[in-house]
Every structure is written in structure tokens, then in C-alpha cells.
Amino acid sequence: MDPGRADRPVDERVVRVAQGVVAVVLLAAFVFAMAWVVPLVGAVTAVGAVRGPDANLVHLLAGRIARRRAAPAGALVPAEGSHALDLVAAAALGVASVFLLVGLEPLAWVCTLAEAAVAAVAASTGYNAAATLLDHLQRRG
């Protein structure tokens, strides 16, 4: 992640709207069998995982939506939480993309739906399962 933005807090509304968009797009891709969406969303989240939330196109668009439509900013959350969500999404959707390339479509959809679930939980409750998972893995390793 970009060191200049690593410790800058992020508006919680923006994170939740972005995760809602990711969840809905991935669920729509599954329902309408649009496998090409999986690597596309994976690439967008990978940019966010590498460069930070300000480089993620979904996050930028969610920011515009949240600032216009949602109530005033309530809570600011550490950028690491958004980074963790992007990192887990990029990993899950990267694996799903590989599965699609080698013809293992059912496994690709399992990975995609797992990511959609993580995003939906983050959007609806604010609970960041990705950050919890990464924190757990760092403590074990």
C-alpha cells in the first residue's frame, strides 16, 4: 500500500458502500453466469490491495455515492481495514480466475461467492472478516 496513505483513516460509509457494490456485482455475475466479471472485479480490488483504497475504482465511486446520498460521516476507520478487504478479495477472485481458466467453474463460483459473502457482511454490519482473518494469520505465523 502507498506509504503516504497507509495511516490515513477512511470514512466507514465509503468502505461499506464499496463492499456492497462488490457483493452485488459478484452475486449478479453468479446469477447471470457472467464469469468475465470475476477477473475484472479481482483486478480492481488488486489495485486497491497494492496501492490503497484511494486507487480502487469501486472505492472512489462509492466515495462519491456515499458523500452525496448517505448521512454525514459518522466514523472513520483505519485504512488497513479497507486494504485487508481488497487483499482478501483480490486473492479469492484471483484463485477463482485461475479456476475459470482451467475449466473448474464450480470451484471458481465457490471462491467468488465466498468473497461476495465477506463483502456483504462488511457492507451490512461493518464487521471486517478480512481484517480478522489477516490478523489471525499474522499472529499464527
26 domain residue, yes or no: yes
Digit-coded pLDDT (tens) for 73-83: 678 888 888 88
Digit-coded pLDDT (tens) for 14-62: 889 999 999 999 999 999 999 999 999 999 999 999 998 888 888 888 8
Average pLDDT score over the chain: 88
Total domain count, the chain = 1
Digit-coded pLDDT (tens) for 90-117: 999 999 999 999 999 999 999 999 999 9
1 domain residue, yes or no: no
Cα distances (Å, whole numbers) of residue 123 to 16, 57, 105, 129? 4, 17, 26, 11
| Grid cell for residue 93 | 477472485
24 domain residue, yes or no: yes
55 domain residue, yes or no: yes
Q: Domain range spanning residue 14?
A: 7-140
Residue-level pLDDT at 1: 46
Query: Rounded to an integer, what distance in angstroms lies between the CA atom of residue 26 and that of residue 3?
Result: 30
52 domain residue, yes or no: yes
25 domain residue, yes or no: yes
2 domain residue, yes or no: no
Calculate the dihedral angle through the C-alpha atoms of 40, 95, 3, 65, rounding to the nearest 10 degrees: 40
Residue-level pLDDT at 6: 53
This model's pTM is above 0.75: yes
